[in-house]
Structure 1
Amino acid sequence: MRSLIEINKTNLSDTNLRSVGLGGVGRSKKHESAEKHVSGEAIYIDDRPELRGQLHAAIGQSSVAHANIKSMDLSAVSAAEGVIAVITVDNVPGHTDIGPVFPGDPVLAIGKVEYVGQPIFAVAATSHDLANRAVKLAKIEYEELEAVLSVKDALAKQSFVRPPYSMKRGDSETAIANAEHQLSGEIKVGGQEHFYLEGQISSAEPTEEGGMLVFSSSQHPSEVQKLVAEVLDIPLNIVVVDTRRMGGGFGGKETQAAPWACIAALLANESKRPVKLKLNRSDDMCMTGKRHPFENDYTVGFDSKGQIKGININVNGNCGYSPDLSDAIVDRAMFHSDNAYYLDQATVTGNRCKLNTVSHTAYRGFGGPQGMMTIEMVMDDIARHLGKDPLEIRKINLYGTEDRNETHYHQKVEHNKISELIASLEQSSDYRVRRESINLFNRENTILKKGIALTPVKFGISFTVQHLNQAGALVHVYTDGTIHLNHGGTEMGQGLFTKVAQIVAEEFQVDVDTVGVSATRTDKVPNTSPTAASSGTDLNGKAAQAAAKIIKQRLIEFACEKYNVNQDEVIFAESQVHVGVERFSFAEFVQQAYMGRVGLSATGFYKTPKIHYDRATGKGRPFFYYSTGAAVSEVLIDTLTGEYKLLRTDILHDVGHSLNPAIDIGQIEGAFIQGMGWLTTEELVWNEQGRLLSNNPATYKIPAISDAPADFRVNLVPDDPNREQTIYNSKAVGEPPFMLGISVWSALKDAISSVSDHRLSPALDTPATPERVLWAVESMKASELN
């Protein structure tokens, strides 16, 4: 049995030798901060030295799910030891609503609370502990209102944060009715806590002219800048937001980093002193949104081969109390309700349910995983109904030829190689042999049962909101030949800074170690998009390349003029510049260019081409391209306890021409484990009063190393460049592998189904905890007796 290190060495053996110049695009290079991460030298916001007079903030939270605030006495809070400032919404000079897209998110409660944990007031004190003690002294009287705490209740009351929406192609009702077979089913898909290692934190420092310098652990510094400016009622040009790195984000810091930056800035403005706001872990878990829980259902018609003829799917997202990003998240769940399968006659409806819980938000996959779960359940259910291997049903329904390559939102699935990818993985993982071996094992064992599943993923790459698909970058070349790079993307551990540095080095054909990347700052690259939607490298890499090309062309033109040569005689290679018969080091030539008054700084800009979507007609091309992959997972369950173990996982993923195979494989491994955790161990629990009970590491279980498969095999599709003109023909890798965790859930269902000799398809809501697995096994046994 091979270790993960051995596996990665195997995967990277070919690509380590492949390099396009010293820049190393296509070659493995460690994360630019890897040594700092390991040694503890990496500077996060909480590591910054305290400034003179710095204060610490804490939040006064609602203790009820839905109520009018009848009275609020903060006198004891103001008088508490160390307290310098106390603010409510009445102390906000500007905008009070900080909703990222639609209104509904007050920075501090306005006469009413809508979830347990909602910020009502904030305190700045001389220490973190004193601030947190002070907020507990508030005396608040509530007039409680009826709370909506379930999706079922929200649907019954038509409680929505945004109107329902449908995508439709053909006449699904007629197609279902006329099909040989019909099935229906439903599933509850649990949410997920982001559990970033670095919690939400911001630090705000008043500057001259009434401005504010904000250090924010945010995936979207430009949005933080805008909202801080709006709540303070000051122009954007005197607000600067700086983000060097985050200790993880996963979407939880896309919009929901902004409230803490705004509150820190409000307190800094009130006290005229620097303020740091750092949420304790339990407060963070109670006050910030999760992956949206969904409750989905379907009705499908299919033929005797298992091919779908018509389908209706409803995806019902638990959005919490406000819109946040839920409109787009439920849209993406609808877009991805097909996953990798052709749905000829289809109607997909999405409901954005309003509940009195924290407002749920972006999370890796952005609704796509919740949408895919339904169609993967459909594949398993059809297979059990027809007595076939689920893989056979999946393969027969894949997107394919010209008459089966259009989605239910009318985008063509171009350059589609998912069938070949699955066939390759089926062979390399010995799926057929293992399936027979598992069937034999299950016949011979009455207590322990094995299951196996191969599931694909087809994930659209682009922001579904068109204007976000843009990026800028700033490149300086200094006279010693070193390069400074800044772009709009944020680094949260995913290796974005490393990849973009490789791209700039590649353009100049210099060693990547000569390229320095600085903190993402709103005064260097303005009006940036969030680092999300798996588009960080696609967008910022192209922008940085554009800036580098501008400078490079200036250098070429200078060389032609100075040395009287043609442009094709100027060659950049191996940290040198060849000009006709002359040869200079890159640093020497840059010094010459400086003396020749050549501009050695440039900005670059990129916008994604081809994408558009008309929401009114439900037609368009919301995605520039699709990223694809597949996983085979094998599990062992104990039918007496519901306990289980993941024995082996094989992954084959397409990243186009990989910019950095080591980082890409690391992203695939991490995404798979995180997806597996979402579907197996990570359970969010609210009580009947709307209070989150799973609010700390003791009550919420993320996967440990012992939960990873003992045999873990991850491979990239052999270099197959993206047919679209992405940066060096690569493909995004951040989110798509997350959905490969579905293979574990499907394998668990396969093992449970073996109790009925695969005649029945078990209902298995997620997370599929051992309790739920046991209940499903018992249900199988009861059905067999009947």
Structure 2
Amino acid sequence: MTLSDTQKEGGHIGEPANMRHVHKPLNHDSAEKHVSGTATYIDDIPEPDGTLHVVPGWARNAVRGRMSSIDLGAVRTAPGVVAVLTAKDIPGINDCAPAMGDDPVLAKDEILFYGQVVFAVVGTTRDAARRAARLAKIEVEPSTPIISAEDAVAADTTVLPDYQFRRGSPETGMTAADTVLSGVLQVGGQEHFYLEGQVAMAIPEEDGGMLVHSSTQHPTEIQHTVAKVLGIPDALVVAEVRRMGGGFGGKESQANQWACLAALAAASTGRTCKIRLDRDDDMIMTGKRHDFRVEWQIGHDGTGRIRAVDINFLARCGYSADLSLGVNDRTMFHADSSYFYPDAVIRSRRLKTDTCSNTAFRGFGGPQGMLSAERMIDAIAITLGKDPLEIRKLNFYDADRNLTPYGMPVEEHEVMKDLFGQLEESSSYWERREEVKAFNAQNAVLKKGLALTPVKFGISFTLKHLNQAGALVHLYTDGSVQLNHGGTEMGQGLYQKVAQVVADEFGITIDKVRITATNTSKVPNTGPTAASSGTDLNAMAAKIAAATIKQRLINFLSDLHSCTPEAIAFQDNKVFVGELQFSLAEVAKLAHQARIHMSDAGFYATPSITWDRDSASGRPFFYFAYGASCAEVTIDTMTGEMTVDRVDLLHDVGHSLNPAIDIGQIEGGFVQGMGWLTTEELVWDDAGRLRTHAPSTYKIPAAADIPEDFRVALYASKGNPQETVYRSKAVGEPPVMLANSVFGAITDAVASLNPGVVPNLDAPATPEAIMKAVRAIRQAAPTQGMAGA
């Protein structure tokens, strides 16, 4: 994989000529620490003398039901136990929910799902606390748990009201269509499986204050929730996070409970307390990507052009709302993928089940919506006997058909088409299509599949007030800069990108910029690092802060040297004033002596976004990011085993701030999406117990699963048409949906067994799912398909 000359050198029309860092493939700021094992995570922070360890306790032999008795006597008297905390020990509000007030920190009267925390053991060692927690005797009056989406529909249980988008008259459109297809797609969930599990350390401070180190994507929410649970003002709580060992959305809201338990224990004992979940407990107790039952119907004409769409998303949300409102809304926003629906109704039901509360996961509902759209496109192509690529291109947004079902125009439809066309050519799609046909004709057991799928992903929080960020920048008299902002670093390179922007704003080398841990006492009231907007928001806020300080220096120097501001330039740790030259340190010292303020709290709020959820109208996204992926797979029809033979990715990141980091994000996002769609299967039994709660039973992609032929490139963009930082585009979440090509290629391979019949293949396409689809398609009559007038 190589970078183009433009990607190496950086620089674009209309941008400063003296940029030395932005657009360059610089190393991640913690790269050396990561590979050498010296990066400090929360479990690496030196523990103060007397630190205690917190372990959650739960009813291991009970599932859903009312607690009839709780005997914690043996737990309290176990060796090394300092305290045992229950709901009655919470001085404030027993709730760690992000919004709806329906997530108790500790269960009180009723167990709502298998694995719900009932008490917390505080011990001198983690081992002692874990052993003690198993001694609890909890009796439960069991009730039959609601597990599946179908169970929830039958019981009519929801965590939030139903919601829908409607455009035109889909009923009329279906009637007018030449052909109507329908089907059901089951889309599985996904475990976050971060390398660093849920962890927090709370340190009591004077006057009832609390410092909480939390592995969280949302420090402000940790601050607010801990204060609520302890019954103290927000100002008495400081939340801090330097880095996470992965987040992927699982630490946006669900880090709250563990930070609260650490803080509750610290407040109760007056000593530093730390909680680090065991991997099995982490997987059992915390939420996943939402799984869906998707009921779809699509009408089209004789060429395959879509006439009307009717989609019903049945989401399994778990026992509480958590972030299900936003996740499910985004599923609906992306139910069009990259295709124009003339008439459409897109419905969503947010179902309540007696399982852990599902939560944010990279893509935040978008992947489930887009996969559903691709299934409908495949169904049209297969029943018409056409290549799916033809049907995709036929239904793309264009100049005349460019309005989404929720009323937002697709302003860069030409970028999407150009990018898609480039990958179609560079991947040699049509030549390889003939090779795949020839291979399948010659092989009875092994079958190949090929698919080229698009990505159109909206960037912004759909909850408008989250689209804001603050940054604190200090310039010191030695010419060094300290940087802090509300974004969190989870390995995605946010800190590095923001530092590059600040370095170029001051014209200094990157070693002069000191990155500091995200801290709620420095930058308050921040939003979560999510929705792929971390760089868009925080880099812009930091750029504004740095530019403000620089402008003060320019004004000072302009007066001092009687020159125009245009005569002053900052570059290579120096400041040029006409023919004169100074180090930035000299200028900073002079400015300090002249009482010039060299600190600024920059603030940025995303413009142009307006979304009225009640009327389902407005502009929920600042812009779209685009991508395309071509995948070739081979399946074994005797065993269901599958290999990904080759992948070609082309992705739009606007003018990349750091091409190396962006390519890494594209690679990682694709592989994570591939795992979701092929190997990562979550299984609950009829009693509501998660059976896939360890690496031995839950299969994430490993090194051997990465395609041997893996080609990744950045689209040669003209830049984001919106005024983002240096016209870049977000890259965190969109690449996950590039993996839809793998699922499409598997569908293509199975479909080759019986032309004209749409495979009944669900996600994830595990070997078992592939075998089930293979058996079903071999038994189906070629004329059956899924079509009906």
Normalised by the length of structure 1, the TM-score is: 0.98
Alignment partner, residue 45 of structure 2: 48
For 1:227 and 1:103, the matched residues in 2 are separated by 11
Q: Contact conserved, 2:304 with 2:384, CA < 8 A, in 1?
A: yes
Partner-residue secondary structure (3-state), 1:11? coil
Deviations 1:419-458 (A, max 9, x none): 1111110001000100011111111111111110000010
Q: Is the aligned partner of 1:119 residue 2:111?
A: no
Correspondence for 2:404 among 404, 407, 415: 407
Letter in 2 for 1:11: L
Alignment partner, residue 192 of structure 2: 194
Partner-residue secondary structure (3-state), 1:623? coil
Alignment partner, residue 491 of structure 1: 489
Deviations 1:8-43 (A, max 9, x none): xx2355422235535411111010000000101100
Correspondence for 1:221 among 215, 219, 222: 219
Q: Contact conserved, 1:474 with 1:525, CA < 8 A, in 2?
A: yes
Letter in 1 for 2:398: G
Alignment of 1:50-65 (within 5 A): 50-63=47-60, 64-65=62-63
Q: Is the aligned partner of 1:770 residue 2:758?
A: no
Alignment partner, residue 714 of structure 2: 716
For 1:512 and 1:718, the matched residues in 2 are separated by 26
Alignment partner, residue 382 of structure 2: 384
Alignment partner, residue 291 of structure 2: 293
Q: Contact conserved, 2:165 with 2:347, CA < 8 A, in 1?
A: yes
Deviations 1:341-372 (A, max 9, x none): 11110000000000000000000000000111
Aligned-residue offset at 1:693: 0.6
Q: Is the aligned partner of 1:27 residue 2:24?
A: yes
Q: Contact conserved, 2:760 with 2:777, CA < 8 A, in 1?
A: no
Alignment of 1:157-236 (within 5 A): 157-236=155-234
Aligned-residue offset at 1:575: 2.3
Aligned-residue offset at 1:719: 3.5
Aligned-residue offset at 1:588: 2.0
Alignment partner, residue 640 of structure 2: 642
* Residue correspondences, number: 776
Correspondence for 1:326 among 324, 327, 349: 324
Letter in 2 for 1:17: E
For 2:646 and 2:174, the matched residues in 1 are separated by 37
Alignment partner, residue 476 of structure 2: 478
Deviations 1:70-102 (A, max 9, x none): 111111111110111111110000011221011
For 1:297 and 1:766, the matched residues in 2 are separated by 14
Letter in 2 for 1:259: Q
Letter in 2 for 1:91: D
Alignment partner, residue 439 of structure 1: 437
Alignment partner, residue 752 of structure 1: 750
For 2:166 and 2:677, the matched residues in 1 are separated by 29
Letter in 1 for 2:670: F
For 1:259 and 1:750, the matched residues in 2 are separated by 44
Partner-residue secondary structure (3-state), 2:191? coil
1:61–1:23 distance in 2 versus 1, CA, 3 Å: farther
Letter in 2 for 1:412: P
Alignment of 1:139-158 (within 5 A): 139-158=137-156
Alignment partner, residue 131 of structure 1: 129
Alignment partner, residue 4 of structure 1: none
Partner-residue secondary structure (3-state), 1:380? helix
Deviations 1:554-609 (A, max 9, x none): 00000011111111111112322111221112222222222222111111000001
Letter in 2 for 1:775: K
Gaps of at least 5 residues in structure 2 are 12-16, 784-789
Q: Contact conserved, 1:23 with 1:512, CA < 8 A, in 2?
A: no
Q: Is the aligned partner of 1:702 residue 2:696?
A: no
Partner-residue secondary structure (3-state), 1:337? coil
Alignment partner, residue 3 of structure 1: none
For 2:418 and 2:695, the matched residues in 1 are separated by 42
Correspondence for 1:18 among 6, 10, 16: 10
Alignment partner, residue 91 of structure 1: 89
Alignment partner, residue 359 of structure 1: 357
For 1:568 and 1:131, the matched residues in 2 are separated by 65
Deviations 1:734-757 (A, max 9, x none): 00010001100000010111111x
Q: Contact conserved, 1:22 with 1:512, CA < 8 A, in 2?
A: no
For 2:68 and 2:209, the matched residues in 1 are separated by 35
- Across the aligned residues of Structure 1 and Structure 2, the Cα RMSD in angstroms comes to 1.1
**4+ aligned runs moved over 6 Å, structure 1:** none
Deviations 1:668-710 (A, max 9, x none): 0000000000000001011111011101011001001111111
For 1:650 and 1:670, the matched residues in 2 are separated by 14
| Identity across matched positions, percent | 53
Deviations 1:470-491 (A, max 9, x none): 0000000111111100000000
Aligned-residue offset at 1:617: 1.4
For 1:78 and 1:85, the matched residues in 2 are separated by 7
Correspondence for 1:516 among 485, 506, 514: 514
Q: Contact conserved, 2:483 with 2:516, CA < 8 A, in 1?
A: yes
Deviations 1:206-257 (A, max 9, x none): 1000111100000000000001001111111111111000000000000000
Partner-residue secondary structure (3-state), 1:698? coil
Alignment of 1:612-761 (within 5 A): 612-756=610-754, 758-761=755-758
Alignment partner, residue 584 of structure 2: 586
Partner-residue secondary structure (3-state), 1:102? coil
1:219–1:469 distance in 2 versus 1, CA, 3 Å: same
For 2:375 and 2:393, the matched residues in 1 are separated by 15
Aligned-residue offset at 1:625: 0.4
Aligned-residue offset at 1:640: 1.1
Letter in 2 for 1:27: K
Q: Contact conserved, 1:318 with 1:352, CA < 8 A, in 2?
A: yes
Partner-residue secondary structure (3-state), 1:319? strand
Deviations 1:641-677 (A, max 9, x none): 1111100000010000000000000000000000000
Aligned-residue offset at 1:784: 4.9
Q: Contact conserved, 1:12 with 1:662, CA < 8 A, in 2?
A: no
Q: Contact conserved, 2:383 with 2:756, CA < 8 A, in 1?
A: yes
Q: Is the aligned partner of 1:535 residue 2:533?
A: yes
Q: Contact conserved, 1:22 with 1:575, CA < 8 A, in 2?
A: no
For 2:440 and 2:239, the matched residues in 1 are separated by 58
For 1:68 and 1:62, the matched residues in 2 are separated by 11
Q: Is the aligned partner of 1:374 residue 2:372?
A: yes
Normalised by the length of structure 2, the TM-score is: 0.97
